Structures are given as C-alpha cells and as structure tokens.
Structure 1
Amino acid sequence: MNEVYRQEKKYFMTMVDMKRLSWELDPVMIQDAHNGIHGYSIRSLYFDTVNDKDYEDKINGLELRRKIRLRIYDPAADFAMLEMKQKEGDFQKKRSLRVSREDAMELNRGNYGCLLKYEDPFAQECFGVMHMQCYRPKTIVEYRRKAYIAKENKIRITFDHDIRATETDLRLFSPNLNMYPVLDAFHCVLEVKYNGFLLTYIKNLVNEANKSSLSVSKYCLARSASLKFSL
C-alpha cells in the first residue's frame, strides 16, 4: 500500500494558457517519464454509495469526505490501482493498492470479497467500507494528463484535458467505451500538488498563469451530466 499526504489546488485554464505555462515549467521541472507528446491516458472507475453520499459530500463542501476508485493507464493492463482519497481540511490523503486484473474485474462487478485475500490492512478497510455502505460502480472518467515533477516537497503539477465519461458502460478494461465530453476541448484542469509548501519559483509561475479556481472534481463533473436531469 502506498500513502501520500499533501495539499491539492485545482484550476480551470484554456489550452493556450496550458501550453504557455508548460513552456515556462519545462526549464525548471522534470517531465513525467510517461508524458510523450500529448501526455498519457488515465481511466478511473468511481464507486459511490447507493444514495451518492460521496458526490453529495463534495458538492456540499464537507471538510471530511472520500472518493474510492479503480485506476488504469491501459485497458490491456494486467493490474489496476484501488485508491481511496480522503479530504481532511486543506490536505488530501491518498492511499493506493495494486490489485490484479481479475480482482479489479470482480470489484468492477460489485464483488468486494476478493479484497479479503490481500494482507494489507488497507484492503480490509476498503472491503468493510464498500460492503457495509453499499458502494457501487457509478461512472468511468478518462482523460489525458501531462505531468511535471519537482522532488522537493514531492511537488507535482498536472494538466488534464480531453476529459470524457460514461455512466452507461462501466467495463473498466473495455478497449472501446462510448463516452461523452464533460469539459470542452478548449479547456483543461490544472492541479498543483505538494507537501508542506510550494517552492517560490514554481508558485510564482503558477500564480502568474491565467486561470480560475475549480471547486468541483472530475468525478463530480462526470456525475453532474446525468444527475442534473434526475432532480
């Protein structure tokens, strides 16, 4: 199990401003090894309770809240990462556990008993929470990410674009999902993640960029597309 405890700030920005900030970050930060020309692909299957408690907690701005998801980087992968993100004031705690493709598919079906064979206490916690609170798969979100890294304070700056989702086809490993855009093609989401404090020279570059604060997560953007019609 891997655990990260850090601050996270999220912003909207245009793709033009993303390119501009990327050029300014290139000389002072390290590009993620998986970036390539257009970044790398991320696909996440989000779980929520039958009454969408995690979604409602986020929308209502509760200080203590969680998100549970399975994440892959390639539909042909032989594993997935089971992750739980917990908001605690200004900080985010993220714990993750690598599970086999077969177990990820069981979780995808809503069968959580496979977690009991993992010795890590985090797996037992996920089983208890997801089983007792009736978590179910709710949506898949997919996007492309370009990431920059600074080893000091584990600083990570990411640009997420081409954000799409589906709530009708929840097959995490399917190579072909019929997805709809949840953000227009001219904008992206900037995320700034760090432990303790943000180094001044990086903070200045980010502060000077043309952007606006974002309070809604990609999960909420995806769910809002359908939930607004059920009110």
Structure 2
Amino acid sequence: MREVMRQEKKYMITLEEFLQSDHYFSQVLHADPHGGARGYPVRSLYFDSLEDNDFFEKLSGVENRRKIRLRIYDPNDSFAMLEMKQKQGKYQKKRSLRISREDAVSLTQGRYGCLLGYTDPFAAECYGLMEMRCYRPRTIIQYFRKAFIAKENNIRITFDHKIEATESCLDLFHPHLNFDPVLDPFQVVMEVKYNGFLLSYIKEAVNRCSRSELSSSKYCMGRSLGLYRDC
C-alpha cells in the first residue's frame, strides 16, 4: 500500500494556457516518466453509497470526506489500483493498493470479498467500508493527462483534458466504452499537488493562468452529467 499526504489545488484553464504552461514546465520540470512526450490516458471507476453520500458531501463542502475508486491506464492492464482519497482540512490523503485484474472485475460487479485475500490492512478497511455502507459502482471517468514532477516538496503538476464519463456500462476493462464529454474540449483542468509550499517559479507560472480555484472534482462533474441530465 502506498500513501501520500499533500495539498491539492485545481484550476480550470483554457487550451491556449495549457499549451503555454506545457511549454514552460517541459523546460524546468521533469515529465512523468510513464507518460512520454504526449502524456497518457487515465480511466477510473468510482464507487459510492446507495444514497450517494460521497457525491453530496463533496457538493456540500463537508470538511472530512472520501472517494473510493479503481484506476487503470489501459484496458489491457493485468492489474488495477484500488484508491481511497480522503479530504482532511487543507490536505488530501491518498492510499493506493495494486490488485489483480480478476479482483478488480469482482469489485466492479459489487463482490468485495476478494479484498480479504490481501494482507494489507488497507484492503480490509476498504472491504468493511464498502460492505457496511453498501457501496456500488457509479460512473467511469476517462481523460488524457500530461504530468510534470519536481522532487522538491513532492510537487506534481498535471493537466487533464478530453474528460469524459459514462454510467451506461461500468465494465472498467471494456476496450470501447461510449463516453459523453464532461467539459468543453477547449478547457483543461490543471492540478497542483505539493507538500509544504510551492516553489516560487512554479507559483509564478501557475499565477500566469489567472484562473480561480476549481472546487468541483472530475467525479462530481461526471455524476452531475448523469444525475441532472433530465432536470
């Protein structure tokens, strides 16, 4: 199990601002080694309770809240990452556990007993929470990510675009899902993640985008698309 605790800031920027920032950060930061020059796809299946507590707690701004998801980077992957993100004041705590493809499929079908086969206490915690609160698969979010890294203060800058969602099929490993766009194609979500404080040259680059901080998450964007489509 891998655990990180950091601050996360999100901003909505234009495609033009992304291209400018991409050019700048490519010169002063290290590109994510897993993404190459163009970046990489991300696909996440989110779970929520029968009453959608996690969704509505996020909308209401509840101070301490969580999200549970499965994440893959290619439908042909032999594994998935089971992740829990918890908001604790100004910090985000993220814990991740690598599980087999077979067990990930079981989770997408609402069968959580396979988690008891892992020795890490995090797996048992997820099992108890998902069974007790009747968590069920809710939506799949997919997007394309470009990421940069600075070792100082564990800084990570990500740019997510082509954000799409579906609730019609929750087969995480399906090669051809039918997605609906969540954002205008000329909008990009920039996330700034760090421990302690931002280095001045990175802070200045972020401020050049002159955009207000974004409170909504990609999960909420995707769920809102389905929940309020007919409103």
Q: Which residue of 2 aligns with 1:183?
A: 183
User: Is 2:167 the partner of 1:167?
Assistant: yes
Q: Which residue of 2 aligns with 1:64?
A: 64
Offset at 1:33? 1.4
Deviations 1:104-163 (A, max 9, x none): 000010000000010000000000000000000000000000000000111000000000
Q: Which residue of 2 aligns with 1:25?
A: 25
Offset at 1:36? 3.0
Structure 2: stretches of 5+ with no match in the other structure: none
Where does 1:67-216 land on structure 2 (aligned, <5 Å)? Answer: 67-216=67-216
CA contact (8 A) 1:112 1:131 kept: yes
- 1: distance between equivalents of 2:185 and 2:38? 14
Offset at 1:210? 3.5
Offset at 1:180? 0.4
- 1: distance between equivalents of 2:212 and 2:34? 27
Offset at 1:201? 1.2
Offset at 1:204? 1.1
CA contact (8 A) 2:31 2:37 kept: no
- 1: distance between equivalents of 2:119 and 2:153? 30
Offset at 1:21? 1.0
CA contact (8 A) 2:165 2:181 kept: yes
Displaced runs of 4 or more, over 6 A: none
Local SS of the residue matching 1:13: strand
Offset at 1:25? 1.2
Structure 1: stretches of 5+ with no match in the other structure: none
Local SS of the residue matching 2:27: coil
Residue identity matched to 1:64: N
TM-score of the superposed pair, with normalisation by structure 1: 0.98
- 2: distance between equivalents of 1:15 and 1:7? 24
Q: Which stretch has the larger CA shift, 202-211 or 83-92?
A: 202-211
- 1: distance between equivalents of 2:200 and 2:5? 20
Aligned-residue RMSD, C-alpha: 1.0
Equivalenced residue count is 231
